[in-house]
Amino acid sequence: MPAAEWLKAAEAALDAAGAAIKPYFRAGVTAEQKADDSPVTIADKTAEQILRAALSAAFPYHGLLGEEFPPENTDARYVWVIDPIDGTRAFITGRPSFCTLLGLLEDGEPILGLIDQPITGERWTGGRETGAKFRSPLGGKIGTRPIKTLAEAELSSTSPEMFVGDGLEKFHRLTARCRRVYWGGDAYAYGLLAIGQVDVVAESGLKPWDWAALAPVVEAAGGVITDWQGQKLRLGSDGTVVAAANAALHAAAVEALG
């Protein structure tokens, strides 16, 4: 099964990247500011280089799309999408809520995803053929919560700064209908959704490397993830993302954001 081979190689690549990231955590690394004012560290760059090298060796005809280095062969049918440290701000301030993200696109659509937290030892995997799995020394099991109404829902989002203008108004409509809202977490929040700790995540301004790994995990765990219009995520999506624990909850969230 190709999916099993992809997953095995991806997990090995993440093991190597995680081993490289750990020595930099809480070690006082400095961050540079990129052109978009987001921070980047030597840990981000080293981890992406390791992931690129491993995936290129395993799948020489696949493309690569990462946050820190130029794209390669992105016209290929299969393209690996890499975010070496999603949540660099969390990483540089010593919070173990950053994640390494690795997704695989087929003709622009996400089909396999891995979310890895190398400090806590947690890892989520999900795909159309592989199903969903979660490993953690902290406990928890894969599977979203069966609630159906926003009034019961725990909502999470990375930062209020994501939302401006009309997008901010729409997000406020969603928060008004949910039980509670929590800030922070980056990709980690989607992992929490996949184990039933969070019920809805809504964000804006995301790049492909921010969501490519998340969509297969959320879907394989029983959730639904789309843009704010309810369209499946794929290359060219507008950067809005809403994930929910099930179809009924997702429909209510999309309606609130409409």
CA distances, 151 to each of 77, 155, 181, 201, 208 (Å): 42, 10, 11, 14, 30
Q: Where are the domains of the chain?
A: 2-135, 150-257
- Which tens digits make up the pLDDT trace of 9-23? 999 999 999 999 999
- Whether the predicted pLDDT of 1 surpasses 70: no
Q: What percent of the chain has pLDDT over 70?
A: 100
- Which tens digits make up the pLDDT trace of 116-171? 999 999 999 999 899 999 999 999 999 999 999 999 999 999 999 999 999 999 99
The confidence score (pLDDT) of residue 258 equals 92
Tell me how many degrees the CA angle 216-217-222 measures, rounded to the nearest 5.
95
Tell me how many degrees the CA angle 231-213-109 measures, rounded to the nearest 5.
45
One of 1.10.1060.10, 3.40.1010.10, 3.30.540.10, 3.90.870.20 is the CATH number of 2-135, namely: 3.30.540.10
Interatomic CA distance for residues 219 and 229, integer angstroms: 17
The confidence score (pLDDT) of residue 37 equals 78
Largest Cα span, the chain: 49
- Whether the predicted pLDDT of 198 surpasses 90: yes
The confidence score (pLDDT) of residue 46 equals 97
Q: What is the pTM of this model?
A: 0.96
- Whether the predicted pLDDT of 35 surpasses 90: no
- Which tens digits make up the pLDDT trace of 77-118? 999 999 999 999 999 999 999 999 999 999 999 999 999 999
The fold adopted by the segment(s) 150-257 is: D-Maltodextrin-Binding Protein; domain 2 (3.40.190)
- Whether the predicted pLDDT of 199 surpasses 80: yes
Average pLDDT, the chain: 96
In this prediction, residues 232-238 reach a mean pLDDT of: 97
- Whether the predicted pLDDT of 227 surpasses 70: yes
Cβ atoms of 217 and 190 closer than 8 Å: yes
